[in-house]
Homo-oligomer: A and B are copies of this chain.
């Protein structure tokens, strides 16, 4: 269950620079490639000739050529040419709206008529030279909402990421969750604590005393369909915490684009945007490596949790205060899905 009329991150630009990429998004088998003028295109990964996956083909003169018998597909899903064939009446394949922005290829798996690039999230850090970004991609066998839950309740850091970003004070600090329109914000502030290893390293990288007591914050923002951006950071204690001047703090935005592959698996695009030492690409690599290691700790837990839930589909999970972020996010998701279903029914009726 996922909204289909929404922008999802499908892949990174480099994944389609050299050749087409086959990837299933929201249950739709798609091929992504660069067509005319190098523009990113997404089509059904199904050649209308004999059903071969177009992603095994190649791009020539802006057309996607099927690697089986040479049918040349246009970016509109209409066959443009095929050796020695008249192609006007070939059946079309589905095309999906695509936007390349912020260093990602975004796709709209639902109704093309509703796709509006203006609905893309606005990611200031991705467009400003004051920020640097590094990230990666994991494939995880779990419902995308389990990952939303995971990111909207950071008490798990204490247990899953005990040796890097976890610390007892997260559990102990009160959590605040609020809903603003279709956004859910969960925040936690810890004062005058010791920085855990990851943040000690960040303070050090930032030229700050890592042994000093710090104020720490985590502000998780869910926006539909399944993006979670988390402002995280520490500041030397007593300088205003989140609002402290730059010279006292190390902070960043944890970026999580969670794209359903199908009902029980996801493409998880994770990364970190930072506003310090933005030209230090070696630091970017080091942070990416560290974050990748930390985030990989969630994989087994989420996949095993998924299997447990499939085994006991009738069990109701607890909804504690710490779970409020995920609970609210699921409500918003459910509302969107219901609205889509209702709209589909209206369309179906009006088609009669």
Contacts and interface: CB of A to CB of B under 8 A. Distances in A.
A51 B172 contact: no
Contact of A317 (B50, B85, B168, B304): B50
Most buried by B among A305, A318, A321: A318
B304 A52 contact: yes
Interface string A52-64: 1100110000000
Interface stretch (A193-201, A214-222, A308-316): A308-316
A5 to B, nearest CB: 22
A312 B67 contact: no
Interface in A281-316: 300-301, 304-305, 308-309, 311-312, 315
A68 B305 CA distance: 10
By secondary structure, the A interface counts as loop
Tallying the copies of this chain within the complex gives 3
A29 interface: yes
Interface string A67-84: 111100000000000111
A104 to B, nearest CB: 26
A66 interface: yes
A149 to B, nearest CB: 7
A39 interface: no
Interface of A: 29, 45-46, 48-53, 56-57, 65-70, 82-85, 90-91, 149, 153, 155-156, 158-160, 168, 171-172, 174, 300-301, 304-305, 308-309, 311-312, 315, 317-318, 320-323
20 contacts: A46-B308, A46-B315, A50-B318, A50-B323, A51-B305, A52-B305, A53-B304, A53-B305, A56-B301, A56-B304, A67-B159, A67-B301, A68-B159, A68-B160, A70-B155, A70-B158, A70-B171, A84-B174, A84-B322, A85-B321
Per CB-CB distance, the 4 closest pairs between chain A and chain B, nearest first, are A83-B171, A51-B308, A52-B305, A53-B304
